């Protein structure tokens, strides 16, 4: 699959390196695609992985992962331009500046705001409820960490489900995009456990079914 990843930070690095090594054609969209930091990132990825400006990185891609800080999301979507019909993965958590809570909830979510700003993109929420350490290795003994995803477009969700499985997560369909109102507070619980309760970031959510 041809994947454009907007951003070259922690999440972009974890998912981009792993997807490239799983055989996907990854292009990072960076504000400084020729910086030393980005060149080092490319060295971690499979040969052929590229970095371009955000606008150029999305040309011809099957899917776009927006992996920028929440306060930068709206501006970056404006830079990307027309995304109507494009599959857009939103991994953001709308954290307050001091990380003590989330800015949105109950009646909307970051994912729904992003869908509104991106005017017609087929937005799927995913990858917001695990740490980067878990993104790098979702296997816990015999168990695979759960990765919840949600969205309103069935084909876009199928595509994202495949990308989740390719990283060895156990994908869990949480329903329509409005379910992001539940998935974003779930990330807040994760942050609370990891950093306030001292669990650290080598723990993950696992849902059981029978």
Angle at 132 between CA 8 and CA 195, to 5 degrees: 120
Nearer to ligand NAP, 17 or 128 (CB): 128
**Site stretch for ligand NAP (CB under 6 A), options 15-23, 42-50, 123-131, 158-166:** 123-131
Choose, by CB under 6 A, the member of 17, 20, 109, 131 that binds ligand NAP.
131
Total of chain residues touching ligand NAP, rule CB under 6 A: 22
Nearer to ligand NAP, 10 or 55 (CB): 10
Q: Classify the phi-psi angles of 121: left when phi > 0, otherwise alpha if psi is within -120 to 50, otherwise beta.
A: beta
160-189 positions binding ligand NAP, by CB under 6 A: none
Q: Interface with ligand NAP includes 10 (CB under 6 A)?
A: yes
Q: Report in angstroms how near the CB of residue 139 gets to ligand NAP at its nearest.
A: 18
User: What is the distance between the alpha carbons of residues 152 and 137, in angstroms, rounded to a whole number?
Assistant: 28
Per residue, the 3-state secondary structure of the chain, as one string, reads CEEEEECCCHHHHHHHHHHHHCCCEEEEECCCCCCHHHHHHHHHCCCCCEEECHHHHCCCCCEEEECCCHHHHHHHHHHHCCCCCCEEEECCCCECCCCCCECCCCCCCHHHHHHHHCCCCEEEEECCCCCHHHHHCCEECCEECEEEEEECCHHHHHHHHHHHHHCCCEEEECCCHHHHHHHHHHHHHHHHHHHHCCCCCCCCCCCCCC
Q: Report in angstroms how near the CB of residue 96 gets to ligand NAP at its nearest.
A: 11
Q: Report in angstroms how near the CB of residue 210 gets to ligand NAP at its nearest.
A: 29
Q: Interface with ligand NAP includes 76 (CB under 6 A)?
A: yes
88-107 positions binding ligand NAP, by CB under 6 A: 91-93
Choose, by CB under 6 A, the member of 19, 70, 169, 205 that binds ligand NAP.
70
Q: Interface with ligand NAP includes 19 (CB under 6 A)?
A: no
Nearer to ligand NAP, 4 or 68 (CB): 68
Residue in the shown chain whose Cβ atom is closest to ligand NAP: 9
Residues binding ligand NAP (CB under 6 A): 7-12, 30-32, 67-70, 72, 76, 91-93, 127-128, 131-132
């Amino acid at each position: 699959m041809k994947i454009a990843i907007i951003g070259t930070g922690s999440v972009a690095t974890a998912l981009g390196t792993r997807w490239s090594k799983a055989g996907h054609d990854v292009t990072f969209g960076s504000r400084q695609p020729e910086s030393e930091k980005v060149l080092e990132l490319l060295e971690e990825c499979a040969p052929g992985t590229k970095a371009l400006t955000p606008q150029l990185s999305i040309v011809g891609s099957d899917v776009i992962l927006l992996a920028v800080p929440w306060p930068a999301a709206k501006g970056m979507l404006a830079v990307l331009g027309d995304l109507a019909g494009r599959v857009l993965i939103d991994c953001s958590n709308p954290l307050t500046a001091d990380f003590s809570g989330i800015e949105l909830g109950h009646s909307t979510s970051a994912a729904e705001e992003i869908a509104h700003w991106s005017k017609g993109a087929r937005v799927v929420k995913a990858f917001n409820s695990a740490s980067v350490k878990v993104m790098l290795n979702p296997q816990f003994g015999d168990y695979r960490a759960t990765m919840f995803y949600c969205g309103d477009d069935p084909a876009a969700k199928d595509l994202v489900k495949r990308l989740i499985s390719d990283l060895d997560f156990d994908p869990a369909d949480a329903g329509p995009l409005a379910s992001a109102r539940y998935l974003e507070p779930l990330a807040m619980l994760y942050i609370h456990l990891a950093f306030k309760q001292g669990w650290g970031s080598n723990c993950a959510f696992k849902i059981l079914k029978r």
